[in-house]
Amino acid sequence: MSNLSDIGFPVNNDEDVNQMLMDVLAGIQQVSCPPYGYYYRFEDASGAQVFLQANPVQELMGFNPGFKGSATATLELIRTIERDTSELDGAYVARGAEGGPVFVFDLPDFRRLKPASLPAKAEVELTAFATNDLEILEPGADTPAEPSIAPLRDSEKTLLAGDPAAPPPQAHVRIEAVIATAEKRANSKTNAEFWAISAATPAGEISVVADPGLVVRDPLSGDVLKGSFWLSGKIANL
């Protein structure tokens, strides 16, 4: 299971990944971001997305999964993190609205939009990609008194200040929240199903996507969602 299987692209090896990339090449949309290169965005009717990366001479360099949901959150973008994997990879340190928690999210289209200055407020589509410790619990004693979203490793002080000598902070978070909606969808490219969930967190409303193999019981509105996630996002406006 992987971030790709969370959106209906089951892959087990490099050959599967290469086949997936070939499959999404039809119907992609080019997004220019000079001088760095291009993104090529595939979007399925299920909301599953793949962002391919190309350099200025249009040689493919990598890719990232994404998801198009309806959830948006108002965040304060504090500082950028440039990844060493590619000039087209990057993340933001952000804070939830009204003095909410501080965390990191990666962007599959990092270079598409850039604030004139930081900090800056933005509407962001946040998607949490589930990992192997996802729990779906019935309402009751395990319901969190307050929903939470917090970095798995880095402290708020570290995220805000930054440390050139330390490894770059990763976009991995721990979330506890009450589910608002849950729907099983099918990726039309593969016919593989995945769960698309929305939940309210202190950072705002987010989408959660999960491989059905990670879900022990079908999620319902009002259930409690707990686990660790890779957090990805796209800036809707600046």
124-180 pLDDT, tens digit per residue, is 999 999 998 899 988 875 666 678 999 988 777 778 877 777 778 999 999 999 999
Burial class for 47, CB neighbours closer than 10 Å (0-12, 13-18, 19+): buried
Kind and range of the H or E run holding 225: strand 224-237
Domain boundary among 16, 50, 67: 67
Q: pLDDT at position 187, please?
A: 95
What is the structure's pLDDT at 96? Answer: 86
CA-wise closest residue to 179 among 144, 229, 214: 144
Domain shared by 104 and 184, yes or no: yes
188 shares its domain with 226: yes
Confidence (pLDDT) at 238: 47
Q: Which residues contact 155 (CB under 8 A, 6 or more apart)?
A: none
Are 193 and 161 within one domain?
A: yes
Same domain, 82 and 63: no
Whole-number pLDDT of residue 166: 73
Domain that holds residue 52: 5-67
Same domain, 109 and 207: yes
What span, in angstroms and rounded, lies between the C-alpha atoms of 62 and 60?
6
Do both 224 and 181 map to the same domain?
A: yes
Position 70: which residue type? S
List residues bridging with 229 in a β-sheet.
173
Based on the fold, state whether residues 135 and 47 are members of the same structural domain: no
Q: 81 and 129 share a domain?
A: yes
| Number of separate domains in the chain | 2
- For residues 98 and 78, membership in a common domain is answered with yes
The closest of 175, 237, 227 to 206, measured between CA atoms, is 175
Residues of the chain with pLDDT under 70: 1, 141-145, 237-238
Q: What are phi and psi of 110, to 5 degrees?
A: -50, -40
